[in-house]
Amino acid sequence: MYNNDEDRAVPDLSPALLADVGRRKMLKFTGAALTLLVSPVGFAASTSLVAVRVWPATDYTRITLESSSELSFSHMIVKDPERLVVDLKGVELNSVLQSLPSRVLESDPVISLIRAGVNRPGVVRVVVELKGEINPQLFTLKPIANYGHRLVLDLYPTEPLDPLLALIRKSTPMEAARGDAGGEQVATHGARQPARQNARAAPEANRLITVVLDAGHGGEDPGAIGRRGTYEKNVTLSIAKRLQRKIDAEPNMRAVMTRNGDYFVPLQQRVAIARRVQADLFVSIHADAFVRPEARGSSVYVLSERGATSSAARWLAQRENEADLIGGVNLARQDGHLARTLLDLSQTATINDSLKLGAAVLSELGGVNKLHKPQVEQAAFAVLRAPDIPSVLVETAFISNPEEERRLNDNAYQDKMADAILRGVRRYFQANPPVHRTTVAQLGG
């Protein structure tokens, strides 16, 4: 089972010492020292894992270990080859842990293999074999929603993906060569500039428009779940991908996804992605839910600085803002300064533009589905807090309504939804031409 230095087992024990251990004690070696620790029942483990999940994203991979009680752990990085070693204390090596190797996809950007085994009495060792150097972030989460205690391993490559650079590399050589004329250049060496100039800047009708599409929820956060078992995270991703293809087919537009697979992206990171690619618009796609199944219809929401426009809007914003709690955010890594900046900047002009975009999209949705409310609503949605990008949240239908849940799973309905949102975006830009954007930096190399 084990090899190399990180897989060492406890040395052989004498019969006399084993007999002593049998009197409800266990052994722990620290260098040459031997320490006897009281154990409840010999070597018996007290915790069993109930689930393990591996979520490969475009720029990191998350591993989640879930148990019925809090996990005690330690970890280290081992070089040549690169490995992350995690010791789980007081954990039973059960079939859940033994299933870890089958959870890794060949396409995973970070992991090549995961294996687990008993390292020493009372300790299960998990070894993550890596494709390169990483910056690991390990943290625990308290029980919430349907989850028990979770240990989260977020594995980030030491050279993170730059979404703006990836976007430029997808462009044609002609677009990349245009530089200033095309309005798109690359931030290199971590340089960051404001995504847009003042809204009073001169319109630039012929440049490429960037629309960020945010498929709500994902990974550890399933979103709302319909009575037939439909996950909101799957519906939103499917509609967003359809809309992405339609936008990319437009001669003057391109789409960027905050996620293009089943993985979790924190709310603040979704906003950061939009700002880093200098987005002109941000469209977050969701499927509504309510405690009563008769609620139905499509809705559009924008950010509010002065409270929600209705109790339903306030309730929905609270539910959507819980995504970070359910999906699992490492609070130690949150950038408090950035969060305060996004909250403190005056967003009046951006909210006014968001209301115009929302009205254009809502009018088009009315041709596909009944509208839940005839006007754009407002509430404090965390995902809409970009201070300089018009942003809307589209609730495509109520997944808690049996009829609308069925429609949300229908390919034709998803396509009509994507078409309606695109028509709304077109209408908005016809009345509000895109403004000139600040040059960021020259394309390296």
Please name which of 11, 130, 115 lies closest in space to residue 61, comparing C-alpha atoms.
130
DSSP string for 109-141: SSEEEEEEEEEETTEEEEEEEESS-EEEEEEEE
Q: What is the per-residue pLDDT for 326?
A: 84
Give the C-alpha separation, 87 to 75, whole Å: 6
Question: What are the domain boundaries of the chain?
Answer: 42-157, 163-431
Q: Looking at residue 18, what is its pLDDT?
A: 33
Per-residue pLDDT at 171? 54
| pLDDT tens per residue, range 346-376 | 467 789 999 999 999 999 999 999 999 899 9
User: How high is the pLDDT of residue 381?
Assistant: 87
Q: If the chain, 445 residues long, is cut into consecutive pieces of 10 residues, what is the mean pLDDT of each piece?
A: 41 35 33 34 66 92 94 94 95 93 92 94 95 94 93 89 59 40 31 39 68 96 94 97 97 94 92 92 94 91 82 81 82 54 57 94 96 91 87 95 96 97 96 65 31
Instruction: Provide the strand spans (E) within 197-272.
Output: 209-215, 253-257
Q: Are strands 253-257 and 209-215 parallel, antiparallel or unpaired?
A: parallel
CA distance 195 to 210: 11
Calpha distance 33→161 (Å, rounded): 45
CATH code for the domain defined by 163-431:
3.40.630.40
How far apart, in whole angstroms, are the C-alpha atoms of residue 441 and residue 179? 10
Q: Are strands 49-56 and 61-67 parallel, antiparallel or unpaired?
A: antiparallel
Reduced to 3 states, what is the DSSP secondary structure of residue 237?
helix
The rounded distance, in Å, linking the Cα atoms of 244 and 43 is 54
Long-range contacts of 135-140 (CB under 8 A, 24+ apart): 136/75, 136/77, 136/84, 137/330, 137/332, 137/333, 138/73, 138/75, 138/86, 139/330, 139/331, 139/332, 140/70, 140/71
What pLDDT, on the 0 to 100 scale, is given for residue 81? 93
How many CB atoms sit inside 10 A of residue 40's CB?
Answer: 10
The CATH label, of 2.60.40.2470, 2.40.50.140, 2.60.40.420, 2.60.40.3500, for the domain at 42-157 is: 2.60.40.3500
For the chain, the C-alpha Rg in angstroms (whole number) is 25
